[in-house]
Amino acid sequence: MSICPSIQNGSNWQSINLKSFQRDVDGNVLENLSKQCGIKYINTSSCHHIDDQGIKLITSSCSYLECWDISWCMNMNITENDIRILAESCSKFTIFKAEGCTHMTNNAAIELGKNYSNLLVLVLNRRSSLTDDNLIALAHYSPLLDTLIVANCTGLTDDTLIILEKYCYQLNKLHGIVSSEFSTLNFYQWLKSEEYAL
């Protein structure tokens, strides 16, 4: 029995989940993956051997990329320049998950919004350096945002809630926005329906 060449060489692959192989994934693996230009979804969460060069390898070739989960990739220093490179190569990008990526700069989060007005899902859990100014700037550019997860982002205040209400009118799922930083009154005035999951 012969195996279809497109299955063997990965040319028809659209989704790759590498989370279970986190200890084995490095630059060489990403270089091979970058040759599979049809990839739409890639999960490299907790792959600690992936660095900044890994971002460039994937984004330079995978122009159909729609979703990338880089959560807990501790060696990635994600800058606004990296996001610009992503934007230049991957115009279809709508889902970005970067939980625990403490080396992602705040300007990179803003750059996501500037370059991806079609951004639907954004996960920035455990980014303690994220501030109102960063999220407000991002909200201005992301009117289609459906899901925002910012648990343990202790630098956010009521100002973020006000801007989310004003600009992200399609927001359906909001996690992690309740903390001592937010006044209960302001929060419940804004939360007018049960659509928002906490």
Structure confidence by residue, pLDDT tens digits, 74-109: 777 777 788 888 888 888 889 999 888 877 777 888
pTM: 0.80
Instruction: Specify the 3-state DSSP secondary structure of 29.
Output: helix
Length of the chain: 198
Q: How confident is the model at residue 176 (pLDDT cuts 50, 70, 90)?
A: low
User: What pLDDT is stored for residue 193 in this prediction?
Assistant: 42
Cα 108 to chain center, whole Å?
A: 11
Residue ranges and CATH numbers for the domains of the chain are: 5-190 (3.80.10.10)
**Looking at residue 2, what DSSP letter applies?**
P
Higher local confidence (pLDDT), 23 or 135: 135
Q: Which uninterrupted H or E stretch holds 168?
A: none
Name the average pLDDT for the chain: 76
In angstroms, rounded to a whole number, what is the distance separating the alpha carbons of residues 178 and 158? 10
Place of tokens 């648990």: 151
